[in-house]
Structure 1
Amino acid sequence: MVSRVMKGLGGVFEGLLAIPFFGGLFILLSGYSPLWFMLVFHIVGLLLAVASNRGKAGHIFGIATSVIGWIPFLGWLFHVITAIILLIEAAVDR
């Protein structure tokens, strides 16, 4: 249950960061701290997913996204992909 909620929240957060221009502006104006927050968020989410034997792909993509999120177009693409994966995993994870 906790893993599913983390995936849903992570999907929403990643989706917000994927909004063209505004997501990038938020990251830049915040001194890249949203990427650090999401890195910790995805590490905790991955640990919870492992402990509850749930899907891990979304959080693994999230960790990769947090690491390369500072690259303009590639970061946006990874935020979109990660948001989709996390939301799908949250919907089908029982």
Structure 2
Amino acid sequence: MAVTLKWVSGGLEALLGIPLIGGTIIIALAYFPLLVMLIIHIATLIVCKREGKSRVGSIVGIVTNLVAWIPFLGMAMHIITAVILLLSAYQDKKRSSFS
């Protein structure tokens, strides 16, 4: 479950990190996507803690969505968070395949 949540939240963060597209989505929906992503990151954090998976991506995601209203910083943070979450999901999947 944690790996799936990391893939989903990482993909959504990547979408929000795309210049112009991500900003347009966030502004057009009155910053509501940032609240949704914050909730997703908190849920992912809880599941990762319960399953003993890395929580770094979720913590960075929470911080990202708290500062993402700052135009260029938000875009950079979304991209960084997406990379961290997707790499973490890949590593978790790879570890579970060999266990």
**TM-score of the alignment, normalized to the shorter chain, above 0.5:** yes
Match of 2:91 in 1: 92
1:44 and 2:43 aligned: yes
- Is there any run of 5+ residues in structure 2 with no aligned partner, and where? none
Shift in Å, 1:65: 0.7
* Structure number, greater radius of gyration: 2
Q: Aligned letter for 1:56? A: R
List alignment gaps of at least 5 residues for structure 1.
none
TM-score, normalised to structure 1, is 0.97
Specify the alignment match of 1:58 in structure 2.
57
* Aligned residues between the structures: 93
Distance 1:22 1:4 in 2: 26
Cα distance in structure 1, aligned partners of 2:39 and 2:28: 20
Task: Give the distance between the partners of 2:54 and 2:11, measured in 1 at CA.
Answer: 17
After the TM superposition, which segments of 4 or more aligned residues of structure 1 sit over 4 Å from their partners? none
Amino acid at match of 1:22: I
Partner of 1:4: 3
Identify the residue that residue 24 of structure 1 maps to in structure 2. 23
Structure 1, residues 38-60: CA drift from partner, whole Å, max 9, x if none? 00000000000000010000000
SS class of match (1:24): helix
Structure 2 Cα separation of the partners of residues 33 and 12 of structure 1: 17
What's the offset of the Cα at 1:76?
Answer: 0.5
Identity over the aligned pairs, expressed in percent? 41
- TM score, norm. by length of structure 2: 0.92
